[in-house]
Amino acid sequence: MKQENKENIIIEDIENIIHEKKIIDQIKSILIKKKYCVIKNVIDKEWIKAFKGYLVNIGKNSLPNYKSISPSAPNSHRININDERSYVKGTFHQFVFYPWNQDLFSLFKKTRNIFFLKNLINGIRKDKFLKNRLEDNCTARIAVQFYPSGQGFLNTHIDPIGDHQLTVPMIMMSSKGIDYFSGGGKIITQSNKKIDIDSLCEAGDMILSNASSPHCVDIIDKNLPKPWLEFKGRWIMLFAVNKIDGNDKIKNSKELLA
């Protein structure tokens, strides 16, 4: 484990840390202070390439459709092009997976250590929300988001935190400087500094931050637009615990004024 500075840490191995209470506590205290952690090489780059190829085929060859988060919801994909109905305005393509559906990449099995770590940071049962049913009206949910070059963005917002989650771990599925060059994920610190998180990670690395820290995606390659269907731009994978529609105990994500 490297100390990047006295607060933020870079960890080399997720497999070991889920058994190390001391490190989990350290990560938790960093997140509570609204700092961040990077964990290197959590997912193999070749696996990511194959998975992206599969999603590109789905994105190109089937109709996108919004489906609400509900018990036994299907896996699906949708596009959002600055949709007025969204809590947070953005432009992206999203592919969504739930634990109760089968998928060809066995996503929840492949990434279970990520959900275990997320739950252990929260002090809850490590496999909570990973069953084939709801718990506390919430479910684990994997969302892959693609932000196309020339138009992909997400406005500054905060996500709800609570007993269900403190952090929404994010795996980079592309690398800044290779797959795109400008814009991308930013966290706004308490001293109002914008941290370029994409420059800290490459494809396969994971970043953990406090979901209630303001964050955004600045427009990707504003001056290098590409047709959406080329699927060139920024790809990420999010490991969320989401409330189902109608659960009012947990707030919605909230956009902040720029």
Q: Cβ 6 to Fe ion, closest distance in Å? A: 26
Phi/psi of residue 168, each to 5°? Answer: -110, 95
Residue closest to Fe ion (Cβ): 159
Q: Least separation, in Å, of the C-beta of 240 and Fe ion? A: 9
Contact stretch for Fe ion (CB under 5 A) within 27-35, 46-54, 59-67, 154-162? 154-162
Read off φ and ψ for residue 76, nearest 5 degrees: -165, 175
Nearest distance from C-beta of residue 7 to Fe ion, angstroms: 21
Backbone angles phi, psi at 33, to 5 degrees: -80, 5
205 near Fe ion, judged by CB under 5 A: no
CA distance 75 to 95: 8
User: Could you give the CA distance from residue 13 to residue 148 in angstroms, rounded to a whole number?
Assistant: 31
CB of 102 to Fe ion, least distance (A): 27
Least CB distance from residue 253 to Fe ion, whole Å?
Answer: 6
d(CA 232, CA 182) in angstroms, rounded, equals 13
By CB under 5 A, residue 255 contacts Fe ion: no
Total Cβ atoms within 10 A of residue 165:
24
Cβ atoms of 197 and 187 closer than 8 Å: yes
If DSSP codes are grouped into helix, strand and coil, which group holds residue 256? coil
Report the residue number, 159 or 218, with the smaller CB distance to Fe ion. 159
Is residue 159 at the binding interface for Fe ion, with CB under 5 A as the rule? yes
Candidates 26-34, 96-104, 131-139, 157-165; binding stretch for Fe ion (CB under 5 A): 157-165
Q: CA of 238: how far to CAs of 22, 144, 242, in Å?
A: 25, 6, 11
Q: How many residues bind Fe ion (CB under 5 A)?
A: 1
In the stretch 59-88, what mask flags binding to Fe ion with x, by CB under 5 A? ------------------------------
Binding site for Fe ion (CB under 5 A): 159
